[in-house]
Amino acid sequence: MQLSDIRPDQEIVREGDRPSRCFALLEGFACTSKVTDEGKRQIVAFHVPGDMPDVQSLHLDVLDFTIGTLTPCTIGFIQHEVLRDLCARFPRITGALWRDTLISGAIFREWVMNVGQRQAYGRMAHLLCEWIVRMRAAGLAEEHACELPITQSELADATGITTVHVNRTLMELRRDRLIELKGSKLRALDWEGLKQAAGFDPTYLHFRNPAAAAA
C-alpha cells in the first residue's frame, strides 16, 4: 500500500479518470462531488477515516465523480490487481467490499430523499445527524459532539441550498437550541430534538452493531 499525504482542497481522483488503483482514507476528511454542465457542484458524499470511497473503479472503468480533500489527509493506494487477487483468494473480502459499496448506495438514496423532500431546516438537521452518527461509528465523536471540518459553502453544495441560506438555517438550529457550533466543533445540544427535526432514522446506514444505530 502506497501512502500519500494530501493537502486540503486537493482533488484525489477526478471525474473522467480511469484509475488503476483504489485508495483508503486513513486520516482526514474528504468528499465526493459532481459538477453540472453549468458548473454547479453537488457534494454527494462525505468520507471519514477508514472509508474506501472509490472501490467502484474496480469494476467501472471511468469515474463519474471527483473526490477531494476537506482537510489534510493521508491515504493509502492499493493497485487494482492486488485487490482483485485478494478478492479471488478470500471471498469474504469480496463480500465485505461489495457490502460496503451497497451501504454507500443506501446513503445516496437517503440523500436523494433528503434533498428532494425536506426543506432547508430538516435537510440540514439530517445531514448533521448523519455526520454525528458516522463520526461516532468511526470513533471520532464523544457522545453527541465532534469535529465538523466542513465550511458552510461546502454544506451548501451538499444540501443543495445556498451558502447564505445554510447560514440562516444553522442560526435557526442554534436558536432552537438543537446544536452548538464553535469554530469547527459541533455539538448536538438536544440529540432527540435534532433527530426529530431531521426525521432521522439510521437504518439506512446498515450498522452491524445495533448499539451504534440506537443512540
Kindly tell me which residue out of 121, 193, 199, 212 binds DNA, with binding defined by CB under 7 A: 121
Stretch touching a second copy by CB under 8 A, among 19-27, 112-120, 133-141, 173-181: 112-120
**CA nearest neighbour of 56 among 45, 42, 48:** 45
* DSSP run (H or E) holding 90: none
Distance from C-alpha of 71 to C-alpha of 212, rounded to nearest angstrom: 25
Count of residues that bind DNA according to CB under 7 A: 20
Contact 23, 96 (CB under 8 A): no
Beta bridge partners, 43, equal: 33
Q: How far is CA 168 from CA 121, 175, 204, in A?
A: 9, 10, 28
- Which residues from 162-191 bind DNA, rule CB under 7 A? 162-165, 167-168, 170-171, 181, 183-184
Which one-letter amino acid corresponds to residue 113?
A: M
Kindly tell me which residue out of 161, 178, 179, 198 binds DNA, with binding defined by CB under 7 A: 161
65 binds, among DNA, a second copy, none (CB under 5 to 8 A by kind): a second copy
Contact 57, 79 (CB under 8 A): no
Distance from C-alpha of 102 to C-alpha of 121, rounded to nearest angstrom: 28
The reply to whether 46 sits near a second copy by the rule CB under 8 A is: no
- Give the three-state DSSP class for 12: strand
Stretch touching a second copy by CB under 8 A, among 3-11, 21-29, 59-67, 70-78: 59-67
Supply 153's cell numbers. 459553502
The reply to whether 152 sits near DNA by the rule CB under 7 A is: yes
Least separation, in Å, of the C-beta of 163 and a second copy?
Answer: 14
CA atoms within 13 A on the CB side of 138: 23
79 binds, among a second copy, DNA, none (CB under 5 to 8 A by kind): none
Which residues would be at the binding site for a second copy (CB under 8 A)?
16, 32, 34, 36-38, 40-42, 44-45, 56, 59-60, 62, 64-65, 88, 91, 94-95, 98-99, 101-106, 108-113, 115-118, 159-160, 199, 201, 203-204, 206
Which residues would be at the binding site for DNA (CB under 7 A)?
119-121, 123, 151-153, 160-165, 167-168, 170-171, 181, 183-184
